[in-house]
A and B are shown apart, each in its own frame.
Chain A
Amino acid sequence: MMDFLFNHPIGILILTVVKALALLVPLLVGVAYLTYAERKVMAAMQLRKGPNVVGPFGLLQPFADAIKMLMKETIVPTGANRVLFLLAPMLTFALAMIAWAVIPVNDGWAIADINVGILYLFAISSLGVYGVIIAGWASNSKYAFLGALRSAAQMVSYEVSMGFVIVTVLLCVGSLNLTEIVRAQQTVWFAIPLFPMFVIFFISTLAETNRAPFDLPEGESELVAGFFVEYSSMSFALFFLGEYANMILMSSLTTILFLGGWLPPIDIAPFNWIPGPIWFVLKICLCLFTFIWVRATFPRYRYDQLMRLGWKVFLPFSLVWLVLTAAVLKLTGWLPA
């Protein structure tokens, strides 16, 4: 049996499907409860109660929302490009899911522990903008199109400095493999020596996931709902799920790059009794809480200021920090072989 699962092509296929389900089912439940957590946390911050009617403490609210979405009619506008209009939400959702293939939840617990894992994640996350652009164009609506254009401009201004942040981390690791990146943080999490990069990366992930204060593509006070203004029912729900799954993905990426992945804060008795995946989930929750906290706290950026922040502040800073890190590693001889 074991031999069949690990060596026969069909066995490997079955094993991979089982692994993928074991990852995706908890992920989707997590996405559902992230929407609930966001509403509850923001309600607490704004001295409201939040959802509290469906089920005890409103715990069944996400399922009620999902059923409501499923029951509604999918409306395709007359002027829309039908195929692309329906493709865009699927693309957004699928991209948010496939990125999880390389995330190591514990030492060796990745579905595909590939050599260029970090590049794979960077590639997939840079594709997320296509869902937005295609949706904006295919809707054949002014507001949607403006949202899509903003999203493209925003993505280009952030991805460069994000790339430099990742390169800085990679300099300290000496590998592109995500498992290796976490293992390199045994002594100290990279959030401490590379603290400014950690801050830049976190802000960039806010922009990458179109979250407040960088939610310009969907700025409801200017663009109604931005790129998904024409979407309804399940096609809207897929955008929604994709956005929240992306938040979890970006939080896990922050965890892996800067917060030591599955490693406990200090490797002593009470901490290292707790298994790695629980640490990993806890750290993701911490990042997600900060996401929500930021949303409840800051007003939206104006889009020219957003681009100024990306090109004129983050890019020069991360470039200088990269050179500095390289110099320090070289001079102290800490450069990994």
Chain B
Amino acid sequence: MIAALSFYAFAAILIASAVMVVTSRNPVHSVLFLILAFFNAAGLFLIAGAEFLAMILVIVYVGAVAVLFLFVVMMLDIDFAQLREGFQRYAPIGAIIGAILLIELFMVLATWRFAPEAATLRLNPTPAGVTNAEALGRILYTDNIFLFQACGLVLLVAMIGAIVLTLRERPGTRRQSIAEQVARAGTVSVRSVPLGAGLKEIGIARPPAPEEEKPKQVEHHHGHGGHH
């Protein structure tokens, strides 16, 4: 009963927040509703017994991807009036595209059949007596290790591409090179000095201080008919 109740609660909030993502006027609110939607999806995963997927969804999407989303959206300078300006004009086109997609979706769903093998698997998604994480690990790292490595390679290439596109040397920029700073000798050095030691004891040669100008010797008069 509790599982069913929480399923409906999670599902209802998920759908409501998904609607809010699209309809809310402030893009920051949209992203925050998207995060709420991720959370509820994670809750649904938990009810389905996919605890590993639920946690990964929160860690990857909520903890990292959505943070960057929010980061970007917050920095946008958005004029809300301008944003809503073309709404009337574009509404029919949007409605037509939406209707086409909906019809296509119905056509797909009407002819959708599960493969008989898949239907049997669905009842018992992970082998009995094995935790979620272990079952997924076996599939990814043992059974399909080469495909997994290939995926990694594709991502690596994408990453190199992104770095190549953004890395540029601008003339006149100053960069800190920590290795160079540490390796530098001579001009400035940090030394640990024993307590109470003077400069001489630790071997720092200093140019001798310039001769202090001596105050003028005051002639001492043994005046007034001094007697010796």
A residues neighboring B (CB under 8 Å): 9, 84, 114-116, 119-120, 122-123, 126-127, 129-130, 133-134, 137, 145, 148-149, 152, 155-156, 159, 176, 304-305, 308
A156 touches B67 (CB 8 A): yes
The answer, yes or no, to whether B28 is at the interface (CB within 8 Å) is yes
Contacts of A305 in B (CB 8 A): 176
| CB-CB contacts below 8 Å: B85-135 with A | 131-133
Count A-B contacts at CB 8 Å: 67
Total residues of chain B contacting the partner, CB 8 A: 25
Contacts of B28 in A (CB 8 A): 137
Given contacts A9-B2, A159-B64, contact A152 B132 (CB under 8 A): no
Question: CA of A330 to CA of B2 in the docked complex: distance in angstroms?
Answer: 44
Given contacts A126-B59, A149-B71, contact A156 B64 (CB under 8 A): yes
Counting from the closest, the 9 A-B pairs by CB-CB distance are A126-B63, A119-B55, A123-B58, A123-B59, A116-B51, A152-B71, A116-B55, A137-B74, A115-B131
Contacts of A130 in B (CB 8 A): 35, 67, 70
A127 touches B63 (CB 8 A): yes
B133 touches A115 (CB 8 A): yes
Q: Which residue from B35, B71, B132 sits with its C-beta under 8 Å from A116?
A: B132
B residues neighboring A (CB under 8 Å): 1-2, 28, 32, 35, 51-52, 55-56, 58-59, 62-64, 67-68, 70-71, 74-75, 131-133, 176, 178
- Would you call the interface of chain B mostly helix, strand, loop, or mixed? helix
Contacts of B176 in A (CB 8 A): 304-305
B63 touches A159 (CB 8 A): yes
A119 touches B63 (CB 8 A): no
Contacts of B64 in A (CB 8 A): 126, 156, 159
Counting chain A CB atoms within 10 Å of each CB, the highest count among B2, B32, B68 belongs to: B32
B62 touches A127 (CB 8 A): yes
Contacts of A145 in B (CB 8 A): 74
B55 touches A120 (CB 8 A): yes
B51 touches A115 (CB 8 A): yes
Contacts of B68 in A (CB 8 A): 152, 156
Contacts of A156 in B (CB 8 A): 64, 67-68
Contacts of A127 in B (CB 8 A): 58, 62-63
Q: Which residue from B2, B35, B52 sits with its C-beta under 8 Å from A119?
A: B52
Question: CA of A110 to CA of B64 in the docked complex: distance in angstroms?
Answer: 28
A119 touches B59 (CB 8 A): yes
Contacts of A148 in B (CB 8 A): 74
Question: CA of A114 to CA of B51 in the docked complex: distance in angstroms?
Answer: 9
Which residue on A lies nearest to B26, using beta carbons?
A81
Contacts of B56 in A (CB 8 A): 119
Q: Quote the shortest CB–CB distance from A223 to chain B (angstroms).
A: 16
Question: CA of A308 to CA of B175 in the docked complex: distance in angstroms?
Answer: 12
Question: CA of A133 to CA of B1 in the docked complex: distance in angstroms?
Answer: 37
Question: CA of A152 to CA of B52 in the docked complex: distance in angstroms?
Answer: 25
Contacts of B132 in A (CB 8 A): 115-116
Q: Quote the shortest CB–CB distance from A90 to chain B (angstroms).
A: 14
Q: Quote the shortest CB–CB distance from B134 to chain A (angstroms).
A: 9
Question: CA of A323 to CA of B176 in the docked complex: distance in angstroms?
Answer: 30
A-B contacts, 8 of them at CB < 8 A, read A84-B32, A116-B133, A122-B55, A123-B55, A126-B58, A145-B74, A149-B71, A149-B75
Which residue on B lies nearest to A124, using beta carbons?
B58
Question: CA of A314 to CA of B31 in the docked complex: distance in angstroms?
Answer: 31
Question: CA of A145 to CA of B132 in the docked complex: distance in angstroms?
Answer: 40
Q: Which residue from B55, B63, B70, B131 sits with its C-beta under 8 Å from A133?
A: B70
Q: Quote the shortest CB–CB distance from B176 to chain A (angstroms).
A: 8
A155 touches B67 (CB 8 A): yes
Q: Quote the shortest CB–CB distance from B53 to chain A (angstroms).
A: 10
Which residue on B lies nearest to A12, using beta carbons?
B2
Contacts of B67 in A (CB 8 A): 129-130, 133, 152, 155-156
Q: Quote the shortest CB–CB distance from B25 to chain A (angstroms).
A: 12
Extra pairs beyond A123-B59, A129-B67, A176-B52 (14, CB < 8 Å):
A9-B2, A114-B51, A119-B52, A123-B63, A126-B59, A127-B58, A130-B35, A130-B67, A134-B32, A152-B67, A152-B68, A152-B70, A156-B67, A159-B63
Q: Quote the shortest CB–CB distance from A227 to chain B (angstroms).
A: 12
Q: Quote the shortest CB–CB distance from A206 to chain B (angstroms).
A: 19
